[in-house]
């Protein structure tokens, strides 16, 4: 006895085969294509980020080089300016040597005084590099000697400022060796971080 075997219609077989092919394609995509696509996208993002960082690094490098040049210029200017001012010990030595300099110029020191200064903190000068030290000097000598003493001050490497000067004649106007009383206010500049005092 022969049983009736139902045959699967051709379109059903086609649908099933198509389904299998579709499932296989999706599986292949997920297994092989998708990972590479994600990798390529990540590589593109990385390349874009790397280029951006390279541009920023180039800009920063140029900025740093400019800052270094500016710093070198300022350091050179500071070194030049530093030679024009005293340190604390140098200023003290300068004022201590005034009497010897006056004698060498043929003058006699009558007085050397330092005006009293306000020791309270001055917020306007906070953080400054220099401070001025003032002195009042009175010498007795002839015109040539006084000029020689002033030249001695002005020919120093460090800057010595003669703020004001007054000269009066002493003795008889007709005397052969007429002496002059010269009073001058002198200022020197000292590095602010130096602690040595010239009054000690």
| pLDDT band, residue 196 (cuts 50/70/90) | very low
Q: Report, at the CATH architecture level, how domain 88-191 is classified.
A: 2-Layer Sandwich (3.30)
Q: Is 195 helix (H, G, I), strand (E, B) or coil?
A: coil
Q: Answer for the pair 184, 164: CB distance below 8 angstroms, yes or no.
A: yes
> What backbone phi and psi angles, to 5 degrees, belong to 177?
-110, 75
Q: What is the domain partition of the chain in residue ranges?
A: 11-82, 88-191
| Residue 27 pLDDT | 66
How much is the pLDDT for 23? 73
Per-residue pLDDT reduced to its tens digit, 41-74:
777 777 778 788 888 888 888 888 888 888 888 8
| Cα gap 120→66, rounded to integer Å | 40
Name the nearest CA neighbour of 131 among 200, 195, 199: 195
Provide the pLDDT confidence category of residue 173 given band limits of 50, 70 and 90: low
End-to-end CA distance of the chain: 139
């Amino acid at each position: 006895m022969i049983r009736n075997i139902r045959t699967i219609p051709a379109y059903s077989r086609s649908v099933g085969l198509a389904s299998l092919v579709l499932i296989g394609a999706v599986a292949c995509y997920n297994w092989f294509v998708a990972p590479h696509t994600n990798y390529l996208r990540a590589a593109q993002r990385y390349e874009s980020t790397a280029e951006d960082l390279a541009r920023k690094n180039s800009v920063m490098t140029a900025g740093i080089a400019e800052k270094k040049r500016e710093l070198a210029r300022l350091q050179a200017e500071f070194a030049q300016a530093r030679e024009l001012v005293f340190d604390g010990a140098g200023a003290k030595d300068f004022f201590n040597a005034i009497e010897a300099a006056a004698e060498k110029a043929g003058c006699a020191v009558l007085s050397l005084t330092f005006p009293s200064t306000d020791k309270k903190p001055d917020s306007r000068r906070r953080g400054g590099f220099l401070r001025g030290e003032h002195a009042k000097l009175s010498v007795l000598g002839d015109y040539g000697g006084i000029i020689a003493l002033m030249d001695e001050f002005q020919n120093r490497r460090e800057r010595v400022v003669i703020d004001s000067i007054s000269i009066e004649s002493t003795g008889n106007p007709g005397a052969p060796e007429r002496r002059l009383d010269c009073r001058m206010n002198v200022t020197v500049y000292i590095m602010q971080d130096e602690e040595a005092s010239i009054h000690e």
